[in-house]
């Protein structure tokens, strides 16, 4: 997946302009970003899978609210 992503970025001539990647918290995104980091290193592009990974705040907020709602519903019963 990272290879196809890099191909697309190269075609658009924006590979060297990646500032960060925003994702949800799925584990496969970490795998993708590690692979992307390796590809960037091979192309002498600064990218670190932890430092350049931005987790989607909307996704985090949704997970938080869902967890709160579980506890509120449990107390009402």
- The residues with which 55 forms a beta bridge, in sequence order, are 23
Task: Provide the residue range defining the domain that includes 69.
Answer: 2-76
Contacts of residue 15, defined as CB under 8 A and 6 or more positions apart, other chains included, come to 6, 9, 40, 43, 45
Predicted structure pTM score: 0.71
Number of domains the chain contains: 1
Q: Give the separation between CA 39 and CA 35, rounded to whole angstroms.
A: 6
pLDDT along the chain (77 residues), means of 10: 89 92 88 92 91 90 92 69
Report CA dihedral (63, 55, 29, 4) to the nearest 10 degrees: 130
Rg of the chain over Cα atoms, rounded to whole angstroms, equals 17
What local confidence, expressed as pLDDT, does residue 1 receive? 78
pLDDT at 53: 92
């Amino acid at each position: 997946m990272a290879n196809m992503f890099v191909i697309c970025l190269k075609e658009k001539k924006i590979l060297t302009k990646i500032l960060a990647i925003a994702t949800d918290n799925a584990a496969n995104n970490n795998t993708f970003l590690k692979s992307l980091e390796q590809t960037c290193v091979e192309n002498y592009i600064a990218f670190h899978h932890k430092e350049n990974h931005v987790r989607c705040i909307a996704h985090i907020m949704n997970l938080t609210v869902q967890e709160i709602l579980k506890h509120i519903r449990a107390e009402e019963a």
